[in-house]
Structure 1
Amino acid sequence: MQAIEVDRFGDPDVLVMRTVPEPQPAQGQVLIDVHAAAVVYGDVIVRSGRRPTPTPLPWIPGIEVGGVVVAAGPGVDRSLVGRAVVATTAGQQGGYAELAVAPAASTFPVPDGLALEVALTVFQAGALARGMLAAMGLRADDTVLVTAAAGWIGSMLVQAAKAAGATVIGVASTGKSGAVKEFGADHVLDYGDGWADRVRELTGGRGVSLALDAVGGEIGAAAVAALADGRGRIGVYGFASGAWTPVDVATIVRRGLVLASPLGTVLRKPDAELRVDGEEALAAAARGELTPRIHARFPLVRAADAHRELESRSSVGAIVLTR
């Protein structure tokens, strides 16, 4: 079969189409004819060699896929064969390919009437967004700040927080404000100088009660500055800038803030709870409560271009590889 394989870490050019052996489903796994694969930032981090523990090479990227189950390994309900599904791949790799294996427990039938690409771009991102907000104790009276609000998970955070009744302030790069507004944000700011001060103005000087940050660096620091003293809490779940949000413990203590890792909390939930999160995200999408935006589609052979697009920071929503 054809797959995108990496034999050395580096820039997007290391993503090369090659002929590789077809995978076979083991105990508890299914084999999926991949119609679409999501391009996520985790793929970029591994490909560039920035993962703290290097991934063994050669490596086929691809954590999330959508397609049709063509075979089932021992111990798997054979009614899945022939079903349109979305899934998290075995070992969180192997999805940039014509065929991929996935644990049956991480494979979700696509609800009737829901497009495969919509299911693909919501079953994990939507589940993570909803789970992180729950982990941070989201309340209807919260004012929520979301950085990278035009991004894939950021857009889900905006929608999920609004669905819960919160007031949402989205921050994104210049030119993306219209999209963030479409996602439901009450206020949209760009990363210009002094945006944290603008957050203070929008909240009557108090600051926000909850912030979710995936950028880190100076933007993460500004999100901390925008928190309300005595009740502000921030969930850090990424470092797209290349650096984690700088944290001064003395400042956190003095201001009475809460710093948490909601993504780590969600990912360490029992498998059964993670499955429920995915099912609920798909159900929310089927009801129209979560509407992912697909920024671009690239054929599998152009995986390198898809990575360049994601790293350019110009994307609004998800990027998908198709066959």
Structure 2
Amino acid sequence: MKAVQFTRFGPPDVLEVVELPVPEPGPGEVLVRVRAAGVNFFEVLMRADRYAATPDLPMFPGVEVAGIIERAGPGADRSHIGMRVAVPLFAIGRGSGGYAEFVAVDGGAVVQLPDAISFAAAAGLMVQGLTASHLLRRSPAKGKNVLVNAAAGGVGSLLVQLARRDGAKMVIAAASSDEKMGAFPVSRRRSCGRLYGAWLAGGGQKADRGLDADIIHKTVGDAFSRAALDALAPCGELVLAAMGRFGLEAADVEHMLGDNQSIKGFSLLPLLTPQGVQEDLAALFELAAAGALTVIDGGRFPLHQAAEAHRAIEGRRAVGKVVLVP
């Protein structure tokens, strides 16, 4: 089978396609033919050795795939052969191997996909869908003004939609350009000047520096400055779901303390349980199948163009979810 690896750190060109044996499903395992593999920003950082942890080499990236069960190992349910499934590798201790034509995994770790959901959409609802769901669980949006930066990205676009379903008073979808917001399903768009460029995703008032957002979600690792905090209300929360340059000085933090504002960290993996992952993904798939949740297609690339997929993300050209389609 074909798989993507890198044997040294560097630019996207270090990604290469290699031939490997098709994995043999062991006891209780199933062999899944991959139809879509999610590409994530943290994998871009890993490839460049800019992630929090340096991976061992060679590295076979990819932590989320969707596909069809082709074979069942000893003790696995053979009636599941032919089933469309999602495989959240990251949630079962597998931090690699998704950029490939096949994966072998524990049969109890897969989640069945409704026929109405594409494999690409399923890939967009694993890391990013679970992240958005848990962000709202830890900081409920009901009755609050919520500002989501990087709203045209995978996590941000889902977070905006789920926050509205959660009963937010108003959701502001913020992005860096009109071009990025053009693909985003919002009911109204208005420019908001130089703070982010923000667009209404519900509610009737214009988003501006006097917004008074009760919650601001930071979902990408770029710099976050004092100017961005001008929109945060007294007693508001700044939720950091991505590592990066913080950009705040001591005086800024003192100002936050004086306004009873808080900074809340977020990390997905410690919040996950096997049962919770199954239930949460099933709920997300049900919403998507019913048309109540949209995964923005950020581009589909064959395995041999994995480097181009990384360039699209690294160069901030992608809007929504980028996937590889073996």
Range class of TM-score, shorter chain: 0.7 to 0.9
Alpha-carbon spacing, 1:10–1:164, altered in 2? closer, same or farther (3 Å): same
Question: Separation in 2 of the partners of 1:179 and 1:220?
Answer: 26
Normalized per residue, the structure richer in helix is 1
Matches of 2:37 and 2:198 in 1, distance apart? 40
Within 5 Å, give how 1:1-323 maps onto structure 2.
1-74=1-74, 76-89=76-89, 91-139=94-142, 141-166=143-168, 167-174=170-177, 175-180=179-184, 182=185, 184=186, 189=191, 193-195=194-196, 202=207, 205=210, 207-219=212-224, 221-230=226-235, 232-239=236-243, 242-244=244-246, 246=248, 248=250, 249-264=253-268, 267-323=270-326
Q: In the alignment, is the contact (CA less than 8 A) between 2:65 and 2:123 conserved in 1? A: yes
Name structure 2 gaps, 5 residues minimum: none
Number of residues of Structure 1 aligned to a counterpart in Structure 2: 315
1:60 and 1:93 in contact (8 A); partners too: yes
**CA gap 1:245/1:282 in 2 versus in 1, 3 angstroms:** farther
Tell me how far 1:88 sits from its aligned partner: 1.7
Q: Percent identity?
A: 33
Corresponding residue SS for 1:295: strand
Secondary structure of 2:223's counterpart equals helix
**What do residues 281-311 of structure 1 show as CA deviations (whole Å, max 9, x unaligned)?**
1111111111111121111111001100111
Per-residue deviation, 1:179: 2.5
Give the Cα separation in 2 of the matches to 1:72 and 1:250.
58
TM norm structure 2: 0.86
Evaluate the alpha carbon distance shift between residue 286 and residue 198 of structure 1 in structure 2; reply closer, same or farther with a 3 A threshold.
closer
Where 2:116 maps in the other structure, the secondary structure is coil
- Long gaps (5+) in structure 1: none
CA contact (8 A) 2:174 2:198 kept: no
Two-structure CA RMSD over aligned residues (Å): 2.7
Match of 1:215, as an amino acid? V
Q: 1:217 to 1:34 in 2, by over 3 A?
A: closer
**1:254–1:120 Cα change, 3 Å:** same
The residue type equivalent to 2:305 in the other structure is: R
Cα drift, residue 152 of structure 1: 0.8
Q: Deviations over 1:213-242 (max 9, x none)?
A: 023443364443321012x11211114xx4
TM-score by length of 1: 0.87
Say if 1:298 and 1:72 are closer, same or farther in 2 by CA, change over 3 A: same
2:277 counterpart SS class: helix
CA shift digits 1:122-179 (9 cap, x unpaired) = 244223212211111221x211100000001110011111122321111112122323
Query: In the alignment, residue 171 of structure 1 is paired with which amino acid?
Result: A
